[in-house]
Amino acid sequence: MRRQLLAAFAVGTAGLLALSACGSSSGGTPSGGSSSAAAKGKVGVILPDSASSARWETNDRPFLKAAFDAAGIDSDIQNAGGDVSKFQTIADGMISSGVKVLLIVNLDSDSGAAVVKKATDAGIPVIDYDRLTLGGGSKYYVSFDNTAVGTAIGTGLVKCLTDDGKKPTDGGIIELNGSPTDNNATLFKAGYDKVIKDAGYNVIASQAVPDWDNTKAGTLFAQLDTKYSGKYIGVAAANDGLGGAVIARLKAQGLDTKIPVTGQDATDEGLQRVLLGTQCVTIYKAVKAEADAASKLAIALATGDTAAADALATGKTTDTKTSKDVPSVLLTPVAIYPENVKDVVADQFTTAAKLCTTAALKTACTKYGVS
């Protein structure tokens, strides 16, 4: 079953590099590594924060570290903690230390572009990971097809509305979007906005949430809920954190199972809500597949094999600020409903023990085969 789910993430990279394991890498500071690892060159990784999504520390860091370890590549993986100044300081340190490749998840395109320029001027190729740095000029981009992620969110919401017998004439849709400084959020919105409108539903409010902050999301949604009370029948929330903020507000009014709410990232909390029927859908992005694709690209560059890197990045993504195409590796997301939560567990992204924690959840887990 795990193989079946991972097959959905095919990215046309049958010729991926086979690299031998012979060294070690660091989880937050440069490691000593072996002499052969040092000869291959060190990879610097900057993750954005740990608040917007649990994935960065829970999934991305260990997956990336394991991949570099296996290839005998020294690495320095650090987290900017949502602080632009810290992001730039970390980047300066990595550039000064002589990393051969820089893999970044920007906090916003402007500050990210400044880092890309410094690295590029120093002869260090930059890989945009998960988020494209608009106007940055990074060498490569590795992510999911983010418009497709948004399309899956919208499709899920429309499915749940239809399943509940809710027609466009019954009320409008509220969109709770991600950070306005995150290009991914723009792509997510484009995806679900089109699906919702094409299905005939009216978007009565579309609100961006600064920094993907869940607390701010709760406050902003409370204002929308008050303003549009009784006038909306569904909420397109751009990730599980925002969806959770919406559902908490609805639950206080006894509406958490009556108004469909979406999400993304297949977090444990999001999956639990999907099982309980308080969240309509979450979108699973196999972070391991994304991390593996990014690490293979970084390893190729660290070992001086640009041809192999070019062979991996078979897709293209247009930088809307420069109108230039960025060589890309783009993976495909999967919509998760109660019936296929078990596939996320089978894929080893989470465990039944983490999901089936209460009597109600244990009943749902049994019903939907989560074990």
What the chain holds in terms of domains, given with CATH numbers, is 2-144+287-331 (3.40.50.2300), 146-284+335-364 (3.40.50.2300)
pLDDT recorded at residue 51: 86
pLDDT recorded at residue 52: 82
Residue 29, classified by CB atoms within 10 Å of its CB into exposed (0-12), middle (13-18) or buried (19+), is: exposed
- Alpha-carbon radius of gyration of the chain: 21
DSSP output for 43-60 = EEEEE--SSS-THIIIII
| Contact in structure between 315 and 54 (CB atoms under 8 Å) | no
The DSSP code for 352 is H
Q: How far apart are CA 151 and CA 159, in angstroms?
A: 12
pTM of the model: 0.80
Residue 285, classified by CB atoms within 10 Å of its CB into exposed (0-12), middle (13-18) or buried (19+), is: buried
**Bridge partners of 142?**
129, 329
Can you list the alpha helix ranges (DSSP code H) found in the chain? 2-6, 35-40, 55, 61-71, 84-97, 109-121, 146-163, 183-198, 214-227, 240-252, 268-276, 287-302, 306-312, 341-346, 352-355, 359-367
pLDDT tens for the chain, 371 residues long, are: 444 454 444 444 333 333 333 333 344 433 333 334 334 799 999 999 998 888 899 889 999 999 999 999 999 999 999 999 999 999 999 999 999 999 999 999 999 999 999 999 999 999 999 999 999 999 999 999 999 999 999 999 999 999 999 999 999 999 999 999 999 999 999 999 999 999 999 999 999 999 999 999 999 999 999 999 999 999 999 999 999 999 999 999 999 999 999 999 999 999 999 999 999 999 999 999 999 999 999 999 999 999 999 999 999 999 999 999 999 999 999 999 999 999 999 998 999 999 999 999 999 999 999 99
102 phi, psi to nearest 5 deg: -120, 125
Kindly give, in sequence order, each residue whose CB lies less than 8 Å from that of residue 48, ignoring residues fewer than 6 positions away.
Answer: 56, 79, 80, 82, 87, 105, 106, 107, 131
3-class DSSP assignment, residue 221 = helix
pLDDT recorded at residue 327: 98
Residue 87, classified by CB atoms within 10 Å of its CB into exposed (0-12), middle (13-18) or buried (19+), is: buried
Cβ neighbour number for residue 1 with a 10 Å cutoff: 11
Q: How far apart are CA 134 and CA 186, in angstroms?
A: 12
**Bridge partners of 63?**
none
pLDDT recorded at residue 133: 97
Angle at 234 between CA 229 and CA 238, to 5 degrees: 115
The residue assigned the tokens 């399309």 is 151
User: In Å, what is the CA distance from 355 to each residue of 186, 189, 250?
Assistant: 31, 28, 22
Through-space distance between the first and last CA atoms of the chain, rounded to whole angstroms: 13
